[in-house]
Amino acid sequence: MAVLPPQERGQTVAAGDVILTSEPFVYMVSSSLRGLYCDYCLARKKGRLPRCSRCQGESYCGRECQLGAWQLTHKYECARIKRILPKVIPDTARIMAKIIIRLKNGGDQLEEKVVEGKTRKFKELMNHYSDIKKDSKRQEHLESLTVVLAQYLGAENLPNSADLQGIFGRVCVNSFSITDSDHNTVGTGVYLAASVFDHSCKPNAFVTFQGTRLICRALVPFTNFDISKVRISYIDVLTWTEERVRDLEMRYYFTCDCVQISPDTAFSTEGCNGAIYVDESLPSTAPLPPCPDCGQTSLPKDSRATYLAAAVFCREQLDECKDQYYLDVCQRGLERQGTLFHPKNLMRVKLLDAATEAAISLNNWNIALDYGIKNIPGLRFYYGERHPNIGMMLLKLGKILVYLGRLEEALHYLTEAQNILKISHGTKHSLYTYELVPLVDQAHEELQLRAAASKKNRRDFLLPLHLKAHRIL
């Protein structure tokens, strides 16, 4: 059951208020991270965690977590994990196996409160049965998972094909990526109450995790709260419009109708802050829409061709790099963009973001700071003023500035980050309590020490002058 009372219909909800908390129906640590995070509480410790002495497949902080995991599902899994070692069970098969075990042991009757008078059981989660049945790629995936599950659980312990299809569908469209305090994905969980939230590219709520517990907070105030109006983002909105729509259709089987102005291909206009939107799919001779600020409808000679060539180059580089960006590649792309790309051009925003992260990974603090500050307006355009991703970037910039000793500037960015993250994460979240607040305190203390030292140096400088003047008199 939810451990905190959710908001009820008609209440006034302030930005930052907890809308809902939810405990997982099932969850797991990602296979690539097993041994680094506790399989029960998801905490990360220094070094590798001790493994279960029987199966050697799961790792725990200590005896308390091991006992908790045993009572939850591990007593049904331990011997099976040991039997198939050294084979590694795919993550989707593992989460499905946990669901099958949970359902066989009373989980089919488990329900979680959404709001007063409304609860959810696992069978009530949407499974998009007919859509997934027609999806050839997912059907192939399910067939391979069925083979693995038969080997792992035993064919006699599997539900019938229709029920297995339903479980697979619910996993596909209802799973949450569980993240740590730095927003790194740790594992996957299925949450009964939280499955009620629909998607928006301009979300009014945000989900964080404290261990395995899901906490959803309002990003904006609700004057007449209704849980059906709460929207979270299923995907990162810093994505090209057509890709975002296609991704939502392929993964969740709905067409996004969000009113999200996305100047994916915004071309800077000379002499104003406006932009001309260039449709890269149209011929270079096709007419352009007017700049909304100055009305300009034409570009300097050869500029359009130069822009399109740079756009193709940058997109290729971003597609090739994926999640691992190289600073020299990003810088080469930014040089190709020059002044043609508007600050709100998605290609520029993504490349500046990648360059910032690449510079941070290389400890090139001044370069990271320069790119990060330049990119704040673009990030704000896509995410909105209160999105926690803005707060995370401001926190990074503040941390770099503290390290560089630029304390007044650091406090400016850290204060902005504080105003955002206390709403999205709450003041008890470890990111806020153990990272942000200590940085703010450190900046204030170092400024006070610097002011005291400056005052002492000034007094020490003036004192000899006073004594010298006294002697002359």
pLDDT at 415 over 90: yes
pLDDT at 244 over 60: yes
- The span from the CA of 390 to the CA of 359, in Å, is 18
Q: What is the pTM of this model?
A: 0.86
pLDDT of residue 310: 86
pLDDT at 456 over 90: no
Q: Judging by DSSP bridges, how do beta strands 231-232 and 198-199 pair with one another?
A: parallel
pLDDT of residue 436: 96
pLDDT of residue 299: 64
Rounded to a whole number of angstroms, the CA Rg of the chain reads 27
Please write down the HEC assignment for all residues of 353-399: HHHHHHHHHCCCHHHHHHHHHHHHHHHHHHHCCCCHHHHHHHHHHHH
Query: Could you read off the pLDDT of 340-397 as tens digits, one per residue?
Result: 888 888 889 999 999 999 999 999 999 999 999 999 998 998 898 889 999 999 999 9
pLDDT of residue 132: 94
Residue with tokens 């509480």: 41
Residue with tokens 């997982």: 24
Residue with tokens 């709260």: 225
- The three-class DSSP label of residue 454 is helix
pLDDT of residue 459: 67
pLDDT of residue 473: 35
* Cβ-Cβ contacts under 8 Å for 409 (sequence gap 6 or more): 401
pLDDT at 26 over 80: yes
| Mean pLDDT value of segment 154-165 | 95
* Cβ-Cβ contacts under 8 Å for 34 (sequence gap 6 or more): 57, 58, 59
| Mean pLDDT value of segment 5-20 | 82
CB atoms within 10 A of CB 52: 19
Query: Which segments of 118-202 are extended strands (E)?
Result: 118-121, 175-179, 185-190, 198-199
pLDDT of residue 298: 64
**CA count, 13 A, side-chain hemisphere, 71:** 5
pLDDT of residue 471: 38
Residue with tokens 């080469």: 332
Within its chain, how far is the Cα of 441 from the centroid?
26
pLDDT at 261 over 60: no
pLDDT at 337 over 80: yes
The pLDDT mean for the chain works out to: 87
**CA count, 13 A, side-chain hemisphere, 368:** 22
Q: Would you kindly state where each structural domain of the chain is located, as residue ranges?
A: 18-252, 266-383, 398-473
- What fold does the segment set 266-383 form as a domain? 1.25.40
Picking from 182, 179, 194, the residue whose alpha carbon sits closest to that of residue 42 is 179
**CA count, 13 A, side-chain hemisphere, 395:** 23
Backbone φ, ψ for residue 253 (5° rounding): 65, 40
pLDDT of residue 183: 85
Q: Which residue has the higher pLDDT, 3 or 126?
A: 126
- The span from the CA of 346 to the CA of 362, in Å, is 24
